A and B are shown apart, each in its own frame.
Chain A
Amino acid sequence: MREANRLVVIGVGGVFGALSRAGISELFGTASIELGDQGAAFPWATLAVNVLGALLIGVLAVALVEDRGSYWRPLLITGFLGGFTTFSALALEAADLIDDNLWPTAVLYLAVTVGAGLLAVRLGIRVTQRLVKP
């Protein structure tokens, strides 16, 4: 696989991932983020996207473990899931909550995302291992 091709494949996966994330965010009707004002809402959309993405990366890490040299890993893992899930929005939304003096909500948001994300990865790995090796 040529390096330039790999990067293009990652880019294509990333575009679909980012647009899916934006679509889900639209579905949830997420409020816009502004520092220096009030009105931060709990970021359900990003939480859902990140936990779902963590579940899927657990599934794909097992399902594609023997897959070397094909375009599936760069397309789906590095591209799609990498672009679908996000850390900058997580940090931005937590900062917005703190900016509104909602410290406990910000800490809760970070803790729930990390905790549920970790559980989702493990669940994805376990379930797929069972399916692959019954």
Chain B
Amino acid sequence: MITIAAIAIGAFIGAPLRALVEQFASRTRSALTTLLIINSLGSLLAGFSLGAFSGDVRIFFIIGLAGAFTTFSGWALALATFSRDLVESGYSHWARFTRMGIVIVAATGIPLVSVWLGWLLSRAY
């Protein structure tokens, strides 16, 4: 019961927080960049929480807050839109492939490094 409450409260904070950051960052950044920032911040928090907390506090931060703050579906939709725009922009096959590759490696690689950074940070503290 406490575990369910921990997830629910974390998500009730995480999801609206994502909407606020999205609203703010999307004024100057593309949808993909905005979601990269959100996903990296959430991954940093998840990595830190993994090292710093245990039990329901950890579940609150990792599964609830960071889980609902970060998102995959919105990112996949933005990536599909980006890929369609690339086709319509008339780039060559190779140029499209390279651009998609860079975006995907950055969007997965930076959150992955953020997890490690967060975890190392928790070890230092």
Contacts and interface: CB of A to CB of B under 8 A. Distances in A.
Nearest to B80: A121
Interface residues of B, number: 49
B33 interface: no
Interface string B89-125: 0000000000000001000100110111001000000
A87 B116 contact: no
A83 to B, nearest CB: 4
Given A89-B67, A95-B112, A118-B83, A74 B50 contact: no
B32 interface: no
A58 B67 contact: no
A96 to B, nearest CB: 9
A122 B108 contact: no
Contact of B66 (A10, A25, A88, A117): A88
Q: Which of A61, A82, A121 has the most CB of B within 10 A?
A: A82
9 contacts: A13-B15, A15-B15, A17-B11, A18-B10, A85-B72, A90-B108, A91-B47, A114-B104, A121-B80
Given A33-B50, A90-B108, A92-B50, 5 more contacts: A11-B11, A18-B63, A83-B68, A89-B67, A92-B47
Interface of B: 4, 7-8, 10-16, 18-20, 22, 35, 39, 42-43, 45-47, 50-51, 62-64, 66-77, 79-80, 83, 104, 108, 111-112, 114-116, 119
